[in-house]
Every structure is written in structure tokens, then in C-alpha cells.
A = this chain, B = another copy of it.
């Protein structure tokens, strides 16, 4: 879904080849001026051949094969922007990318992605004492029971609901169970959403000097408690249990059932919402900043908000490399890009041109807006 939106977007200005193991995914692309190649990207030899004639690689493979894919691209000496969100530390590939003299941007989505870019910008301008990032992708219609639809596998969502969340408190990395510390936040046109701890900070835990830092996931109220109930009762357990002589992991049963419940129907309206709250000091005075994103499903093109916000963030950063606005060799998280005002503005302008607006409110003097 995201890959197709990116390929079509890049094909406006560049010659694009899309590769996928699934011919059906490719078939839809060829009518949009994108060259296609069916290929097993899990095979490093095939991948190396494939990227050999390109100027830039955009990586959007399933997380489990992301690290190896990026490694192969770096070995092939190709600049790359990646949204595979793989679990390994991307910084492990930094030295090799520098040796190869190529720039790589990882985690180039919304959160991680734009949240890093924005924090990177303000961390370069002010001293941030406390930052919160709230983010969620939700269906417009709130249907009982879950009031949730996932454009990706329930297994990945459940993983977010089970993996302990790392955050920073007073300069130290601490761990909280996922789904904890709920807060209600109001969003114009949407209403009240519930935010809770999930493990989404990734590189931000280490790169920026922000002593208090957390990312929380947004859902309609009620969903969090349902998930906590399922988790508490054992429905998310990955260890198999014996059920009438069969060994099965409750997690796999739950994911199978939730797949049907969480599937977006074709054309179903969904939106992406992100709010970043920063507190700190600039030029000796208290400063608060609030950045809001609210993006809707695009009815005309049929492009989901998830694909728009994630995909265009990635293509915006790809354009930075393609236009040589950023060329520092190494593997960079987006906070490094955001610290560069030209790059920051370039990404924001690129997104605005596609109707994606990050609204910024700055409040100096410490009063609430």
C-alpha cells in the first residue's frame, strides 16, 4: 500500500522501477508509469543485481528482512531511504555506509520519521526539557467493539501492545509496560482519543539531548482496555498451550480472529493524527511548541492516509538525496535531517504540496496557548 503510493509519487519526476515478489502488487503499478520487476528481494544476489543500475534505493520491505536488505544496498554503494522499520539497530550499518561514501536515511515515515525530523529541528533551536509524541492511524467510523482497523497484520499491532515501552525520564531510559499511563486528548473534528505507552522512540532514545521523552499511541477510547484485557487473560501469549490435544499459541489464534475484525474495507475512510508537544527554553525564555498533523484518506486517488503520510515523508526525504540537498555519508535517522533547516523546510514544502500539513504553534513566555 505504502510502496505503491511512493512509486507513483516518485514517478512524477524520476524514472522508477518497483520490485516485489508479488506480481499482483506490480500489475497495478505499471499503468502509472512505473517500471516493474518481479523479484525475491530476500535473495541478496537478486537484490544486488536489481539495485546495480539505480541512483537511489527506497526500501520498504517487511521488518524482518529490512536490516539484511539495507546491508546489501549499502554494500552495493547505493544511497537509500528506508521505511522497513526493522528491529535491529540501524546505527550498526553507519560505519559501512560512511566507508562506502553514501547517505542513508532510515525510519523515514511518520513516527518514526516526521516525529524525529521535527524533534531534530527544535532540539537544534532550543533546549527541550520535555517532549511527547502522540500518534495513531484510525478508521473514520468508530465501530464496536474495537473501533480500530489496521492496514497491516494484527501480529504487528499486538507486538506494539506487548513489547515494553522505553522512554526517557530525567535523562534516563526507563521501561513501562505497553498500554499503560493512559491520557485523553482532544482533537478538533475527531473528538477525544486515548493515548498510551508503546515502544516507538527507537533512535530518539539515544540521539537527542531531551531528558523527558515519550511516544504514545492514539486510539479511540475503550480500545486500550480491551487490549489490556486480552493481554492480561493470555490471548497475546506467544507460548503454545495445549487445547484438546493440539498445541497452539493463543497469539496466533487471536491474530487470526482480529485480522477479519481489523480489516479496512475497500475505500474505507481512515485518518492519521499526530501531536508533538515540546517544552523547554529558547534564548533564556520558556518555550512551548505544539505540532499537529491531521491527514485524511484521499477519496480521489483512493490513497489511504497511512500511505500518504508515511509514503510521502519517505519520498520527500528521497528527494533530498536525489537533489543532493543532503549527502553526508552514513546511516542517519531523520532527526539528523531535521537539524538542517534547508532539509527540514524542503521536506515540509514537499508534503504541503501533497496536502499534508504539519501545523506548528509556538508559545513563548511559558503561558499556555
Contacts and interface: CB of A to CB of B under 8 A. Distances in A.
Interface of A: 144-146, 225-226, 228-229, 232-235, 241-244, 246-250, 252-254, 256-258, 260-261
Nearest to A244: B252
A145 B228 contact: yes
Which 10 A-B pairs rank lowest in CB-CB distance, beginning with the nearest? A145-B229, A234-B257, A243-B252, A253-B253, A248-B248, A233-B261, A243-B256, A243-B253, A244-B252, A246-B248
Contacts of A235: 235, 254, 257
Indicate how many identical chains form the complex: 2
Contacts of A261: 233-234
Contacts of A234: 257, 260-261
30 contacts: A145-B225, A145-B228, A145-B229, A145-B232, A146-B229, A146-B233, A226-B226, A226-B229, A233-B258, A233-B261, A234-B260, A234-B261, A235-B235, A235-B257, A241-B253, A241-B257, A242-B256, A243-B248, A243-B252, A243-B253, A243-B256, A244-B248, A244-B249, A244-B252, A246-B246, A246-B247, A246-B248, A248-B253, A250-B253, A250-B257
Contacts of A145: 225, 228-229, 232-233
Contacts of A258: 233
A223 to B, nearest CB: 10
A241 B261 CA distance: 15
A338 B261 CA distance: 49
A233 B247 contact: no
A270 B229 CA distance: 22
A252 B210 CA distance: 48
A347 to B, nearest CB: 40
Nearest to A226: B229
A227 to B, nearest CB: 11
Contacts of A233: 145-146, 257-258, 261
Nearest to A241: B256
A354 to B, nearest CB: 36
Contacts of A243: 248, 252-253, 256
A147 to B, nearest CB: 11
A257 B239 CA distance: 12
A246 B242 CA distance: 12
A245 B234 CA distance: 21
